[in-house]
Amino acid sequence: MSAGPIRQERQAHAAPLVSTSAKDRVCAPGTAAGRTLGRSYCGRSKATRATSWVAVTCADCRAARAADEAVG
């Protein structure tokens, strides 16, 4: 299938598959309430974890926290 104008438009607005590269990612530690204890807040098991939210660079952890705070 060719990359027609509709497909090009969709790809232009698509979010990247990985929001923060693995070498630049510093995740927030998981919580028991979020069922991510022993993992990072975004659910990754092999990620560097920060001790405070100030040091977090993972966009997925920040998005998860924002979603949890909006619901809670």
| pLDDT at position 50 | 92
Listing DSSP states for 28-61 in one string gives PBP-TTTT-TTSBTTS-SSS-B-SSGGG---HHH
Say yes or no to pLDDT of 33 above 60.
yes
| pLDDT at position 16 | 67
d(CA 44, CA 17): 15
Average pLDDT, the chain: 84
- pTM beyond cutoff 0.85: no
Per-residue pLDDT of 11-30, as tens digits, reads: 888 776 667 888 889 999 98
Cα distances (Å, whole numbers) of residue 15 to 19, 21, 57: 8, 14, 17
Say yes or no to pLDDT of 41 above 80.
yes
Residue 37: is it exposed, middle or buried by C-beta count within 10 angstroms (0-12/13-18/19+)?
exposed
Name the 3-class secondary structure at 62.
helix
